[in-house]
Amino acid sequence: MELMGLVYGLLVALIWGAQPVVASFGYRASLDIFDLTVLRFAVSGLIMLPFFIKAGAKNAAGTGWPRALVLLLLAGPLYNMVLVGGLHWAPASHSSLIYPAFTPLFTSLLAKLMLDKRDGIPMLGLGLLLAGVVVVKAGSILQAPSAAYAQAWRGDLLFMLAALMWSFYTVLMRRWNTNPLAVVSVVQVGGLLYVPVYFYFAGTSLFQLDAGAIAVQAVYQGLLVSVVSVLLFNLAVKQLGAKASMFTALMPIVGVSLAVLVLGEAMTISLLLGAMLISGGLFISLRQGARQQ
């Protein structure tokens, strides 16, 4: 049974790690952040709608509408626009490194401020995470004259903002002691509110783009990232316990590797070293968290 837990965890790392790469393909097919966001939530919202109704739409699946709206703001369409929007300026490899590096940093800080809990990152883990980010940014600055990296800092800031939003989301879930699956349904179904707004302003221009590219984004972002990966992660937790969280340490390696192999992004020494440092920092930090649980 533990073997299946490993399989589930590896699949989660692959799906999450490949997300910026797949989104970058959407950009190449002339899709923008608004298109990518509507494809994600139109699909995931409809899939999760039956669960949401069964769990109780009147009180937002037990979450309560005031809290649900806050969580929707932090992890819904706006969050997706911020995260995917960073790819307009920065390469996918930066998203694969900066976002997962800052998420545990922000989460640890917010947990201390809002929960008065010491979910502190070990000093070694903290040092590796920060060193990895510094190495990646130093390499980006040295490459700044190239058109591909001149505006990367804008995207990097958006990746950091997305990490902050997600950290607020996870800490508030703990503070309010919410049901994780119920909150997932609230966020995905709540994201359906964006769909009519999108079509009001964009019209039917989306359907004039490549149908294959639209299908890929709808299936990957709306089904795999938003629904399947969540189910797989919960199955991994059921088999492995808190240790399942350590698979997220593979995301930087997966993301950078795919960005280089699939998108043709340059593999530099700084990128490789940054990926190793950040993955190491994540592993150390997550391992301590698993032990505490």
pLDDT at 23: 97
How does DSSP assign the chain, residue by residue?
Answer: -HHHHHHHHHHHHHHHHHHHHHHHHHHHTT--HHHHHHHHHHHHHHHHHHHHHHHHTTTTTTT-HHHHHHHHHHHSHHHHHHHHHGGGTS-HHHHHHHHHHHHHHHHHHHIIIII----PPPHHHHHHHHHHHHHHHHHHHHTTTSTTTTTHHHHHHHHHHHHHHHHHHHHHHHHHT--HHHHHHHHHHHGGGHHHHHHHHHTTGGGGS-HHHHHHHIIIIIIIIIIIHHHHHHHHHHHHGGGGGGGGGGHHHHHHHHHHHTT-----HHHHHHHHHHHHHHHHHHHHHHHH-
- Domain extents in the chain: 2-292
pLDDT at 120: 62
Q: What is the pTM of this model?
A: 0.91
pLDDT at 286: 72
pLDDT at 249: 84
pLDDT at 5: 83
> In whole angstroms, how large is the CA radius of gyration of the chain?
19
pLDDT one digit per residue (tens) for the chain, 293 residues:
577 888 998 999 999 999 999 999 999 999 999 999 999 999 999 999 999 999 999 999 999 999 999 999 999 999 999 999 999 999 999 999 999 999 988 988 898 888 876 656 778 888 889 899 988 877 766 665 555 566 888 999 999 999 999 999 999 998 999 988 899 999 999 999 999 999 999 999 999 999 999 999 999 999 999 999 999 988 887 887 766 677 888 899 999 999 999 999 988 888 889 999 999 988 887 776 555 55
Which residue from 261, 234, 265, 285 is spatially nearest to 95, judged by alpha carbons? 265
What's the CA gap between 265 and 96, in Å, rounded?
A: 13
